[in-house]
Amino acid sequence: MGTFKTRLGVSDGNGGATQWVEALVDTDATYTVLPASLLHGLLGVEPRAQAEFTFGDGRKMLMPVGEARHHVEDREATSRVVFGNEGQYLLGATALQELGLIPDVTNHRLIPAPELLI
């Protein structure tokens, strides 16, 4: 799949300020990954649990996870976020699904997903 970046707003979901970043649209990543300094430091998002993640090269790592409000264009949804390292800005598949968006890799943009019940 081709990759591209999109403008992503992130907030604590409790009426706090939204921080806007450029994030790589990564449907191979289950969850959104953002720097801990952004999530916890600027937004006050608290880790709620630790989860073990497997990387493409087979490495496994225990990482903190929480929930944050995602804002893309005119859509908003709360979704799980992983507290990552500096420079990690990935918009994952779960958030895209919650937002009702799919990647249009030809035109490097996100488009509304078809609404299916089955």
- What tokens does 67 get? 């929930």
Cβ-contact 32, 91 below 8 angstroms? yes
pLDDT 10s digits, 36-78:
999 999 999 999 999 999 988 999 999 999 999 999 999 999 9
Stretch among 11-15, 60-64, 95-99 having the lowest mean pLDDT: 11-15
- What tokens does 24 get? 């790589």
Pairing assessment for the beta strands 60-72 and 75-84 based on DSSP bridges: antiparallel
Residue ranges of alpha helices (H) inside the chain are 36, 93-99
pLDDT at 117: 64
* Burial class of 65 by CB neighbour count within 10 A (0 to 12, 13 to 18, 19+): middle
Is 2's pLDDT higher than 70?
no
Grade residue 118 by pLDDT with cuts at 50, 70 and 90.
low
Q: How many CA atoms lie within 13 A of 34 on its CB side?
A: 32
Confidence (pTM): 0.92
Q: How many CA atoms lie within 13 A of 13 on its CB side?
A: 15
Residue 73 CB partners (closer than 8 Å, separation 6+): 110
